[in-house]
Amino acid sequence: MTKARRGESEFWRHRPVFVTGATGLLGSWLTEALLARGASVVALVRDLVPKSRLRQSGMESQVTVVRGAVEDGMVLERAINEYEIRTVFHLAAQTIVPIANRNPLSTFESNIRGAWNLLEACRRAPAVQQIVVASSDKAYGEQETLPYSESQPLQGRHPYDVSKSCADLIAQSYHRTFGTPVCVTRCGNFFGGGDLNFNRLVPGAIRSALHAEAPVIRSDGSLVRDYIYVRDGAEACLLLAEKMSADPAILGEAFNFSTEERSTVLQMTERILRLMGQGNLRPVVLNEARHEISKQYLSAAKARARLGWAPRYPLDAALTETIAWYREHFGRT
């Protein structure tokens, strides 16, 4: 389990917390951090995922599981009221860009309808004090000025990007219109142990290297992205919720969280191979990616200044931890 630093547990001890997307990558690490701080976690779980980190680690038995989907507003309203939830982390989403391109309606249902259902349920629940909605750097769409800052407009154009722009704006509108206590996080590409979506770059490259196979890159390898370790992402969510309680002036605002160390897809793949001692492998570049933005990366200046946030894990150290997790997962040395 993740150990909380001294003094961090007081805010969370016995606090009823609702986490959507708890079986996902960020959700499992956030749930672990909350349990380490003594929170009473209620997890919304749509699908039974036997190999999810939430279940494999034994955390599922330590939380209250509510079965249902964010598309079902009645389930959300019942859970939030019945368990007298005080803090909400809305992480549930369809997160795979190619799936959004193939099947946009299910992505819109999950990512947009899910956002307004969650916020409406919270608006009608008097006990809720903080809501953290996970958006994405994709919400910015394609911009002439980089890195992205929070003052730039949200202008997604393709299905996944649009879904994140919409959810982000809906969250802000609930604060502006109803005073709902919500803030938004915008992060780059999460990576870390427990991600079983092997069509994503980092887990896919690690799995290939563990089997001495050439990693496959869907794009031409030149896409520039912002990569953030999931443990840093979980800490960012916790810190933001704590700051929302201490400083109501930040309610309704969005914050970028980034290591500010951007990399091309090819560079990231080669870095993983180097760290795994498989530098002799050459990635297979398919150049099949469509409707993806060529360059996306974030400025975290606002989070540093307003929240005092900084990432704890250098990229190589984070990748080394992640590689170790997959070595154990696949039983390989």
Distance CA 198, CA 208 (A): 10
Q: Please tell me which residue in 148, 160, 229, 297 is annotated as part of the active site.
A: 160
Is 160 an active-site residue? yes
> Residue 216 is encoded by which pair of tokens?
């496959």
Radius of gyration (Cα) for the chain, nearest Å? Answer: 19
Euclidean distance between CA atoms 139 and 167, whole angstroms: 9
Per-residue HEC secondary structure of the chain comes to: CCCCCCCCHHHHCCCEEEEECCCCHHHHHHHHHHHHCCCEEEEEECCCCCCCHHHHCCHHHHCEEEECCCCCHHHHHHHHHHCCCCEEEECCCCCCHHHHHHCHHHHHHHHHHHHHHHHHHHHCCCCCCEEEEECCHHHHCCCCCCCECCCCCCCCCCHHHHHHHHHHHHHHHHHHHHCCCEEEEEECEEECCCCCCCCCHHHHHHHHHHCCCCCEECCCCCCEEEEEEHHHHHHHHHHHHHHHHHCHHHCCCEEEECCCCEEEHHHHHHHHHHHCCCCCCCCEECCCCCCCCCECCECCHHHHHHHCCCCCCCHHHHHHHHHHHHHHHHCCC
Backbone angles phi, psi at 28, to 5 degrees: -70, -40
Q: Which two tokens stand for residue 125?
A: 């629940």
φ and ψ at 64, to 5 degrees?
-90, 120
Considering only CA atoms, which of 204, 202, 272 is closest in space to residue 230? Answer: 202
Q: Enumerate the active-site residues.
A: 160
